Structure 1
């Protein structure tokens, strides 16, 4: 496969490469550019030059590029799904869903390109303001630097690329070292869809080294990052006056109250998928479950039974739900965290052991708040179920976290649903849904260490523009 960097609509050979391995088979699937700081600067220059063109595109022209890109991706969706499965070891069923969502995200971006509107400001509301009309417009910000993760290598990249192009910007992508192929494919598609040369550029390689170039270069006006809180906080500290959007993960919590006994089988099915889809390597994976004591014995028994039936296997098998983790380092860390929880009083109900390069779906109970599987983001196939006496205790436990991205509640008590919706310290609350829920056009951002700023197409576009007010004195 191509081993260069993608600049100005073509691949440029890099001086140095690194081998890219399939996480499941450990076979080398490509040799990827280990880009230098100078090569990142070339990409920024290309994007900066292209911005002189993209900022003049009409909203219709930007929308047409994105609609065309969506059509190309739809025509090639099986090829792209297989690419994701190969580089990320994502089960093929999940990869196909990711591609479908990416198509939808591109189309949402195209639609929103036509809706970037301002507002009328009545200046005559102020003394001395009579005889003036004023209005606001949103202008493209310039070069966007995107740093993307491995777990949704296409759709989370599209969530940065689509809004950037819709707003009239250009973009430089620094993809995860493990999953650059999806970004390359997206760049090819955007170019084929008619974007001006240099609109989208991909520079793979070492994150800290290349990320620093994006942060230090004054031509980059905006950083959009998805990754760990540790790195996100460093980016915010070093970004100077650049705009930043940081999506930093979570340890999402779910509460199941005493009013949903009749719906328990359906709720359990949703919660199991929410916990173990793509091996739990999802920012909003259901990691902490709190169940009212009246339903806890039933819920736990059913949850374990369903979990034990989850197919573990080859990522290319359409029936597979759980497979190899992204790397052995993650596997070792998660196993250590499981053991730590058990040593501190937790009970292992199922799983908790390695299989191939993955971990069998793991369910714990009686987990201490201070355990790493509770207070940190596991990013693996691990969930715990703790029993609570009432909703007040559930909210207290759910909010006892440094994170605050998504939370879920299952209840048939409308008053309680609304009370918890207001009390939970998270960016998104899902009532009668698991927290592992995201629709690509909704606002998406977290409280506390879960993030800064918002994604979701419409909301990301606003964060990739500059607002200007224009006043006309007609007297």
Structure 2
């Protein structure tokens, strides 16, 4: 059994049976047979009907789903409600994007050899999908991995994060209630050796992973020949502050980007580069606002920052901040364990660039402010890592904005917005060590299909 613990008070809230390899083996065989039986695949109109039903059921259960996110994952209830709304939108987006999956005509008579023929392409489901998910958005991430598979007609086995399996289980049950036959989507909590065996099985056509880079790249190296994949990891998102940026909305935006879900977001704002003349003042303003954030029980509406997902993460964060302080960083606010499960929102000023808060993903409620002499120096410092995900620049100068867009190593550059901004129909991807392939529901649907061409000789 997998015991589910509330990360705030460490009380047991539920238990989920683990699935053994013998069962998973049968499910993979069933998924393979479903995909191979082309005449009896679920037609598009039926899949659309199921997803519409699922969205309606989720809407009816919004408060239950939000509370479940808060108690199993520690996300403040206000943000958990937003996650549920996004997840519902994501299901509906799967319906919309299905109409955009289409082939093209290929001109044949461009040469004499091709004349007398017509050709066109079509997209087909790629085959069985295995999805392994993360804890920090326990419903919406599942939607991003499972809905594309259901929408395009791929059988899917989904393994939730060990800390947050309840939201995944609820969504799979909703799909069943919406009319999806159980063999098309399997809730698959399992231990690590079994998960690795499932992921690397030769029957898997597509592997979707959201989680740590070490695990994701390791699993990719072991995939069976022919298995395609998408990996979403994290980074240490940089923000460049120009001297002429509008200060008040900038401070508010950075605060949201850095402390949303206590920093447990793969594109959480982490490294902030400000000009030497303004950096201390900006850091102090951020610290003053961060000190006002309410840290506590995620189920309470007044809570801004909930607990970290595990007690060892609190200890890790404390160690990293202690290292920064000993190395010369100034702790402008926070810097303290509030309990075994919570850490105070913390602003560090000018930590050295060669310590962990500067060169690794913090994944906690810590932001670092650094001084720069020139924008060129700021870009170099921002790019000085082997990972690249989302980034941002705050400026009132279009030229600086365009320079940042060109100079920053990132898959996306937000202008006058924080690094954690996202809507679910945009491409979302890590570059270099931060990931592989592209997320976003429509993009994932495309990756879970493959193109087939027909050439007809007249």
TM-score by length of 2: 0.96
After TM superposition, the structure 1 = structure 2 runs for residues 389-400 of structure 1, keeping only pairs within 5 Å, are 389-400=373-384
CA distance, structure 1, for counterparts of residue 393 and residue 174 of structure 2: 39
**What corresponds to 1:369 in structure 2?**
353
Deviation at 1:58, TM superposition (A): 2.9
CA distance, structure 1, for counterparts of residue 229 and residue 101 of structure 2: 20
Deviation at 1:327, TM superposition (A): 0.7
Determine helix, strand or coil for the equivalent of 2:183: coil
1:233 to 200, 204, 217: 217
**What corresponds to 2:271 in structure 1?**
288
1:325 to 308, 311, 316: 308
After TM superposition, the structure 1 = structure 2 runs for residues 249-328 of structure 1, keeping only pairs within 5 Å, are 249-260=234-245, 263-328=246-311
**What corresponds to 2:102 in structure 1?**
117
**What corresponds to 1:145 in structure 2?**
130
Deviation at 1:149, TM superposition (A): 0.5
Distance 1:46 1:94, change over 3 A: farther
Determine helix, strand or coil for the equivalent of 1:133: strand
Structure 1 position 204 matched with structure 2 position 189: yes
Distance 1:457 1:18, change over 3 A: closer
CA distance, structure 1, for counterparts of residue 104 and residue 274 of structure 2: 47
Deviation at 1:124, TM superposition (A): 1.8
Deviation at 1:19, TM superposition (A): 2.1
CA distance, structure 1, for counterparts of residue 271 and residue 168 of structure 2: 32
Q: Decide which moves more: 454-463 or 414-423.
A: 414-423
Determine helix, strand or coil for the equivalent of 2:113: coil
1:61 to 46, 61, 68: 46
**What corresponds to 2:336 in structure 1?**
353
Q: Decide which moves more: 465-474 or 50-59.
A: 50-59
Deviation at 1:53, TM superposition (A): 7.2
**What corresponds to 1:28 in structure 2?**
12
The gaps in structure 1 that reach 5 residues or longer are: 1-16
What RMSD in Å do the two structures reach over aligned CA positions? 1.5
Deviation at 1:229, TM superposition (A): 0.8
After TM superposition, the structure 1 = structure 2 runs for residues 378-457 of structure 1, keeping only pairs within 5 Å, are 378-457=362-441
Runs of at least 4 residues off by over 4 Å = none
CA distance, structure 1, for counterparts of residue 184 and residue 308 of structure 2: 33
CA contact (8 A) 1:60 1:113 kept: no
Determine helix, strand or coil for the equivalent of 2:119: strand
CA contact (8 A) 1:55 1:168 kept: no
Distance 1:54 1:236, change over 3 A: farther
**What corresponds to 1:131 in structure 2?**
116
CA contact (8 A) 1:123 1:129 kept: yes
Q: Decide which moves more: 196-205 or 443-452.
A: 196-205
Deviation at 1:250, TM superposition (A): 1.2
Deviation at 1:54, TM superposition (A): 9.5
CA distance, structure 1, for counterparts of residue 167 and residue 40 of structure 2: 26
Determine helix, strand or coil for the equivalent of 1:185: helix
Deviation at 1:157, TM superposition (A): 0.8
CA distance, structure 2, for counterparts of residue 36 and residue 406 of structure 1: 38
Deviation at 1:185, TM superposition (A): 0.3
Deviation at 1:457, TM superposition (A): 1.1
Deviation at 1:296, TM superposition (A): 2.2
Structure 1 position 461 matched with structure 2 position 418: no
CA contact (8 A) 1:251 1:378 kept: yes
CA distance, structure 2, for counterparts of residue 76 and residue 54 of structure 1: 35
CA contact (8 A) 2:76 2:304 kept: yes
Q: Decide which moves more: 146-155 or 47-56.
A: 47-56
**What corresponds to 1:74 in structure 2?**
59
**What corresponds to 1:8 in structure 2?**
none
Structure 1 position 471 matched with structure 2 position 428: no
Structure 1 position 104 matched with structure 2 position 89: yes
Deviation at 1:428, TM superposition (A): 1.2
CA contact (8 A) 2:236 2:359 kept: yes
CA contact (8 A) 1:285 1:436 kept: yes
CA distance, structure 1, for counterparts of residue 137 and residue 227 of structure 2: 25
**What corresponds to 2:73 in structure 1?**
88
1:184 to 169, 182, 191: 169
The gaps in structure 2 that reach 5 residues or longer are: none
CA contact (8 A) 2:2 2:162 kept: no
CA distance, structure 2, for counterparts of residue 193 and residue 280 of structure 1: 34
Q: Decide which moves more: 349-358 or 43-52.
A: 43-52
TM-score by length of 1: 0.93
After TM superposition, the structure 1 = structure 2 runs for residues 334-345 of structure 1, keeping only pairs within 5 Å, are 334-345=317-328
CA contact (8 A) 2:275 2:374 kept: yes
CA contact (8 A) 1:49 1:198 kept: no
CA contact (8 A) 1:137 1:468 kept: yes
